[in-house]
Chains A and B, each alone.
Chain A
């Protein structure tokens, strides 16, 4: 332990005078208050609160004081330093808040800028509409059946009760496929409807059969605003014990309600198809005017030409001859079937005015339809 310093002279320790300490404190506070930026505050901090600042130096002098004066001076210096540090922290916080606010403002962007770096893709509405219809029936327990597009005439015609001399066979506008020798009589065609898939389903599947058959079909029509040689159908086939024409009607009603909303219904009109007997043409209530435009010239309907009904396609009870050709006993089983064109439905459901728009692959047509329909 060193001996106490006796050779002190309080008057000589100028820095520890109360006025002097107050002055140092006030200068520090003034410097902090005057610091306009974090950098300036850092300089002021070094000058007034750093290790070589006057208050720090004054603090070191305390040891030179006589014991009775030490406590007093220590208290004074400690209080001054506390006030200085507190002011520094407050100013530091103030300046940081100011900076944060300014920077975030400076960093603001125009959030309305587009970002079409990779333009969106899309699926074709013929694909998605077909899937939409498939899904309605898959939900009911039907399965989706597919088959070849280049098809044997037996599947496309004969088994469907369209024999070689049936007038309907001549009216089918069929593309015929050349035989191996280039001959015309190969017995192979581009399928004119998806009905051959019904035949394949009956031959391949165990009874009862409930299938939906979507797909591409072909007829020798030139492309124009309302015709295309390549188009798409969806057909349905149900073969079970005790199926009736009322079941057909109910199934059609369910479909149009699923696609076009509650309150929709279908209408059957007698018609003739070789593969169904009885046969019918099916119409659906116009989903736009719901029939209100009929006989009402003030409210014409473009969608149904004010007919109130929109023609959908053909349907009927499976002709017993078709069942026989597929090895199904018509005494025990009955069935119903219907089919319609996807292009037509796309036209009236989505206001497509020209068939060509659907087949040309123009991205401007397809993009708005997105992923689902």
Chain B
């Protein structure tokens, strides 16, 4: 809501010294979010005067038509001689009154005016358009032509009210009353402790039987409908400058007198109004719900199929307006350019419609208007009659009309709204003792009637439908007493239990991966079919079943991720493209997996706690949202340098990242060869844990498939790991147990075993471990050797260092050798391993 300070002063006698910034500060602390204060004409400097065009000479030979004019500016130029001015606009004739800026003046934007040669003549100033004066669009697309009665030589800065301050207020959804000058003026008056001249306090004639016939068939949707008629409007009448200027300052475009007046009164009183051309309305005006199949062309020229819940204004023919949202094209007031068809008789509608009904209709038709914005947020029903009267008065005054004696008022009976609240409730909410007297005084200031002692019965004013509960009233008291005066105290929460295991694991995993050289890159979860194809997922891969959005930002990415890789690989590509080639990134985040059975979430009540069953039913509709952890790698894992060669990132780094994460989770991770989607089929590890006695694949790691890398434009040999962190957590074995530490000497034995190439090293190691028995303290694979000539085709040699130690004695060489032989024997039995000769 834009509020010109000059207009505001009409209702509140603010001290002359108060600037826009001062008022802004007061209103902000009272709770109105004044976002900006615009200084209109701040850098404007005269002379800017009214002139009358005397002669016009059309200059030929230029690319566009140019006029050389002489303009009478009275004595404003010091000589009284006509001012010679070159002008490119064409919407004026000799004799018209115009706005002339003289040399020495400065226009908004710092545009200094001086006499200058142009088009072969000297122009001593300029004839101005509203744009050049910073007035906003007036719809003329040319220079301003003033009414003929305007006095020549008069100061145009004052005439056009060019210097002003405009407060721009972001009105919250509960304060429909502040979408009007009246509402903002009321808040200003309270903030300054000054009286308010309420523009809605007008003498309004009572309803009678001669008014325009109106029938309201849906009193719940429309509890008030006032109709007034004005006849004998002059077709030539235009909105006066002051009215046009005020509309421009609040951000509306002047259109025609009747429309301008209804807009003006809406801005002043907050009551949306509609003016019908009486000649175009057929019979009784009605208010009802639309019928199936009805259509209406609204003022914006759009034909709308109406819904049965839409509240419509009708005449004999059917709907002529979408109630409280937008009028229909059929009964529209003619534009002022169209003098021949100009409306000379209008019917004014000032009605009050149900907030919810208007909100739904506006949303349904995606049609938000000045009217619907106000009705949705609450309009003062008691101001309807005054608004109609104000409109009638202005039309009579400005268009020479006659107010018809008939006054129609259809009012559904309703009681004033009351709220009962303990007098000390605001004190309890604030933690401050205000006392009953202060509470009552503050409530009265905002227009409440207050009765009672300890328990207050508060009748809230008609313009504040948002005040419905004790806390609403408490807020009014606390804000007027000043939020800034609240003391600062601390509550005493009970002792907490710290972070949960899952939360600590999440942090630990992040630290461990960052410690291993990975940089965290949280990415967007939006994905499309394309990237799933590029990742080489099979047609029946469960990761292709996605949660889809109704209104994605990008139609190419309508789904939520089922894997972290699309986003993370995107970040990898982006970094690579920006010149960082040696990359190790990680992300931890939720993925979204739709359930097999998918229903729609039901609507639960809010006037009680839903039952556990109701909550469970709601949760059952939501997708599963486990937390995953993923890494991607490209380029060098270790850089080359003065110390020697670098080392490219490889599949083993990705697998190791999985081990890092598993270690943090305290989960025993089994790594085995696997094949899955985006990974290189020969370089993909399947990551397996055992939880509750069942084996579960929790993720994959390794080098990515060359086809995937090509499709995604990623560096060759890029690697990745992704696993389900929640599943890993479930497999964690909780509290680590301390091992017994023997201080007896260690006995070390190395063995080299030859096996077939496809035999996994983990199986050989497991057999050695089991065969060696409990004397084995540690085992480590220290070399893998492949040489077909020495070992035979298809063989590899695995060299292990075995460390033996007993808890209670020094081992003899024989004991250690026996354990080693047992280990080798079992490995031979299980994997076909033979000692390398």
Contacts and interface: CB of A to CB of B under 8 A. Distances in A.
B173 A167 contact: yes
A48 B428 CA distance: 107
Contacts of A178: 547-550
Contacts of A114: 641
Contacts of A79: none
B698 interface: no
Contacts of A152: 601, 618-619, 621-622
A369 to B, nearest CB: 9
Interface in A157-211: 158-159, 161, 163, 165-168, 170-171, 175-180, 182-188, 190, 203, 208, 210
Interface string A357-373: 00111111011000100
Interface in B578-637: 578, 580, 582-586, 589-590, 592, 598-610, 615, 618-619, 621-623, 625, 637
A20 B520 CA distance: 86
Interface in B488-541: 488-491, 493-500, 503, 507, 510-511, 513-525
B483 interface: yes
B496 A210 contact: yes
A334 B503 CA distance: 28
Contacts of B601: 152-154, 186-188
A270 B475 contact: yes
B356 A165 contact: yes
Interface stretch (B24-32, B299-307, B390-398, B790-798): B24-32
B730 interface: no
A168 B172 CA distance: 9
A278 interface: yes
Nearest to A251: B490
A235 interface: no
A152 to B, nearest CB: 4
B489 A163 contact: no
Contacts of B749: none
A43 interface: no
A150 B623 contact: yes
Contact of A151 (B28, B486, B622): B622
B600 A131 contact: no
Nearest to A110: B642
Contacts of A142: 493, 496
Interface in A196-233: 203, 208, 210, 216, 220, 222, 229-230
Contact of A203 (B475, B507, B524, B609): B609
A326 interface: yes
B455 to A, nearest CB: 14
A270 to B, nearest CB: 3
Interface residues of A, number: 108
A107 to B, nearest CB: 16
Contact of A154 (B30, B507, B517, B603): B603
Interface stretch (A6-14, A70-78, A115-123): A115-123
A334 B484 CA distance: 21
Nearest to B490: A250
Interface string B81-98: 000000000000000000
B215 interface: no
Interface centre among B507, B524, B605 (most CB of A within 10 A): B524
A85 to B, nearest CB: 41
Interface stretch (A49-57, A60-68, A241-249, A297-305): A241-249
Interface string A84-96: 0000000000000
Given A154-B610, A324-B606, A362-B571, 17 more contacts: A117-B643, A140-B496, A143-B497, A153-B601, A179-B598, A183-B600, A187-B603, A220-B551, A244-B430, A250-B489, A254-B490, A270-B29, A271-B172, A277-B475, A320-B470, A363-B519, A371-B515
21 contacts: A116-B639, A119-B582, A122-B519, A123-B514, A124-B522, A140-B496, A149-B625, A152-B619, A152-B621, A165-B359, A203-B609, A210-B496, A230-B524, A245-B486, A246-B487, A278-B474, A361-B521, A362-B575, A363-B521, A363-B583, A366-B519
Would you list the 6 A-B pairs with minimal beta carbon distance, nearest first?
Answer: A327-B609, A270-B31, A244-B431, A187-B601, A361-B521, A361-B571
Interface of A: 113-124, 126-127, 131, 134, 138, 140-144, 146, 148-155, 158-159, 161, 163, 165-168, 170-171, 175-180, 182-188, 190, 203, 208, 210, 216, 220, 222, 229-230, 238, 240, 242-247, 249-251, 253-254, 265, 267-272, 274, 277-281, 317, 319-321, 324-328, 334, 359-364, 366-367, 371
